[in-house]
């Protein structure tokens, strides 16, 4: 009888302990717009699991990919409304709240992915990220390399002047439009889902995107040339909402920050590695993959594009360019 009573009491204690753990667990929402096959998602899932482990199960993070909680503008708004806790999003959206941080999209500001990563460890990044945090309360926990944007076209391009009159699809984002317009191209803001068809039927004769996107969307099937303009070294921020970041203890902030930075490093390595192999892949498919005189492109951009038109500070551009 005593043995049975002890068993019952022990079972009850286990149930109560389990219930206490469940009640203590905080569920968070992590949202992004990328597909489940992409490292931005797989590494977010890894980070969610790792945070759960390192906090002894106190946080359960549910990752919502592929715009399940809305488009990029929606999830940025969700940070303000408290409907999401963590998002992955570009600095062009952060710049809507704090313009100076958008300087990282200025053409030819970064020499490549290594320079971008060096920037994320610099004082200028800390200052710009703090400016964004002071303005919004949201915390940029990590930065991932997204890819270097290049141009595809049905006509060969060797220098900036060769883009004169070129009908090119470019996202309707000022910094993305800067280089093509400086070179005299006719930019067209076609919806991303319609770009392949627009290239195929000649509505536009060129577009620009990272090599990984050119492969994923099969733009190489309807273009003859891949021109390595490398005009923007693109990146994404992992951002924690104001309310969520404020609710974390110093210990948990350290855990979240370390894990998110580790996830960003994993993503950056994957993207850079994939890009390095794609040039050979495109050549094998019979495309003309051409280097360009980047100095010529950069000179034209600097002559024709004004920092004040974007709300950027030239001092920030110079500081970033100087990072080794």
Q: Is the pLDDT of residue 7 over 80?
A: no
Cα–Cα dist 80/76, whole Å: 7
**pLDDT at position 12:** 46
Q: What is the pLDDT of residue 35?
A: 86
Residue 67: strand, helix, or coil: coil
What pLDDT was estimated at residue 21? Answer: 46
Helices (H) and strands (E) in the chain, counts: 13, 9
Give 192's pLDDT tier (boundaries 50, 70, 90).
Answer: confident
pLDDT at site 309: 80
pLDDT at 57: 97
Q: Which of 38-47, 151-160, 183-192, 301-310 has the lowest mean pLDDT?
A: 301-310
pLDDT at position 22 over 50: no
188 — phi, psi (to 5°)?
-135, 120
231-248 pLDDT tens trace: 999 999 999 999 999 999
For the cut 60, the answer to whether the pLDDT of residue 20 exceeds it is: no
- pLDDT interval class at 122 (50, 70, 90): very high
| 223 vs 312 pLDDT, higher one | 223
Paired strand residues for 188? 169
User: Are the beta carbons of 234 and 148 closer than 8 angstroms?
Assistant: yes
């Amino acid at each position: 009888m005593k043995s049975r009573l002890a068993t019952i009491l022990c079972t009850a204690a286990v149930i109560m302990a389990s219930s206490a753990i469940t009640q203590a667990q905080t569920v968070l929402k992590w949202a992004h717009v990328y597909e489940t096959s992409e490292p931005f998602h797989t590494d977010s899932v890894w980070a969610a699991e790792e945070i759960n482990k390192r906090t002894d199960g106190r946080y359960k993070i549910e990752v919502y990919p592929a715009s399940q909680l809305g488009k990029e503008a929606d999830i940025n708004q969700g940070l303000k409304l408290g409907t999401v806790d963590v998002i992955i999003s570009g600095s062009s959206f952060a710049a809507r709240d704090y313009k100076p941080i958008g300087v990282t999209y200025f053409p030819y500001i970064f020499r490549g992915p290594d320079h971008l990563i060096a920037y994320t460890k610099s004082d200028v990044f800390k200052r710009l990220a703090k400016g964004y945090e002071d303005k919004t309360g949201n915390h940029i926990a990590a930065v991932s390399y997204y890819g270097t944007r290049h141009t595809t076209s049905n006509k060969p391009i060797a220098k900036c002047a060769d883009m004169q009159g070129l009908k090119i699809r470019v996202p309707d984002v000022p910094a993305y439009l800067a280089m093509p317009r400086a070179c005299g191209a006719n930019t067209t803001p076609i919806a991303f889902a319609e770009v392949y068809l627009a290239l195929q039927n000649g509505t536009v004769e060129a577009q620009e995107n990272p090599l990984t996107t050119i492969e994923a969307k099969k733009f190489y099937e309807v273009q003859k040339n891949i021109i390595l303009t490398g005009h923007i070294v693109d990146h994404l921020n992992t951002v924690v909402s104001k309310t969520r970041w404020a609710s974390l203890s110093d210990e948990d902030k350290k855990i979240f920050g370390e894990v998110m930075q580790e996830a960003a490093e994993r993503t950056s390595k994957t993207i850079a590695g994939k890009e390095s192999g794609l040039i050979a892949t495109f050549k094998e498919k019979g495309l003309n993959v051409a280097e360009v005189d980047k100095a010529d492109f950069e000179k034209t951009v600097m002559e024709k594009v004004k920092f004040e038109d974007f709300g950027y500070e030239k001092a920030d551009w110079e500081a970033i360019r100087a990072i080794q």
